[in-house]
Amino acid sequence: MTHFGDRLTEANRRTATPLCMGIDPHASMIPAIFGDAQDGAASDAAIRAINDFSMACLEQAIGHVAAIKPQAAFFEQQGPAGMQILQNLGRAAIDAGLLVIMDAKRGDIGSTSTAYAAGWIGHDAPFPSDALTVNPWLGIDTLAPFLDRADATGSGLFILNRTSNPGAGDLQDQMVNGQPLYRHLAALLAPLATARKGTLGISSLGIVAGATWPEEAEALRSALVDAPFLIPGFGAQGAGAEKATSGLTRGKHGWEGGLINSTRGLIFPKKAASAGSIDEWRHAIAETIAENKTILDRVF
């Protein structure tokens, strides 16, 4: 594979958007037109509905957003059949030329991290991806196996730095030597990101920076000039377009330097919930994607 940072920039430019579709198949929210996703965890009916819904989301994403971000937990809770859907989803997206950000938030020490990295990073991994989300809060040394695997496969990492949840500040905002912990983490990541900068100026090592904290995102961008940002919190979590784009850069093709994720806003919009057929649902999702792209593009 070519360098992840370059592939990300190319995807931003090709689709003219930083928009990323989160695919979290909440069984209770999947429209009945796909079947009975609430039939019971790992039941045949639930697996069929979750598979058909997830693949339909992917079909709507291809060519219209820069990436998809499946959340592993929603597949894992369905057992082996759910994980098979996740594997197939990642492979189908990659085959279609779409970036896959696996949101599995792995992080551990030593050989365990090496095993996680082998399982989740790269197009040839059992759960194929272009990039993986990683939890660094056990220490920077725990990133080494993930970095090694990402470097070897041309893949990316998104390190949890300043997350979008309301309680993020309980630890991330704690002051140490005059700075919050998330800024200390950014300083440790900066040289690692710079060392992995691609030919188009973006690193393969990025961070997760929630859209709900725009001032922090701007400060993080100053500290991590080369790093791509994965930005959750846009839409259903409360952040508007101006906040969501605060950590990105504006190029001639539009917003670059990362991905703005929307899950419920893209795959569970109100206009799609009442669809009477798959075709109506597809039309509603296509409209929603186009509307969100326009909203982001209008911010300068």
Residue 230 DSSP label = E
Tell me the HSE value of 161 on the side-chain side, using a 13 A CA sphere. 33
Check if the beta carbon of residue 280 is closer than 8 Å to that of residue 60: no
Report the alpha-carbon distance of residue 221 to residue 231 in Å, rounded: 12
Q: Which of 105, 197, 270, 293 is catalytic?
A: 105
Nearest by Cα to 194 from 148, 215, 186? 186
Tell me the HSE value of 153 on the side-chain side, using a 13 A CA sphere. 23
Determine how many CB atoms are found less than 10 A away from the CB of residue 84. Answer: 14
Report the alpha-carbon distance of residue 222 to residue 215 in Å, rounded: 11
Q: Determine the residue type at 35.
A: G
Please state, in angstroms and as integers, the Cα–Cα distance from residue 261 to each residue in 84, 118, 128, 217, 230, following that order. Answer: 24, 25, 19, 15, 7
105 carries an active-site annotation: yes
Report the alpha-carbon distance of residue 165 to residue 13 in Å, rounded: 29
Q: Determine the residue type at 16.
A: A
Report the alpha-carbon distance of residue 231 to residue 258 in Å, rounded: 8
Check if the beta carbon of residue 264 is closer than 8 Å to that of residue 235: yes
Report the alpha-carbon distance of residue 107 to residue 140 in Å, rounded: 10
Catalytic residues: 105
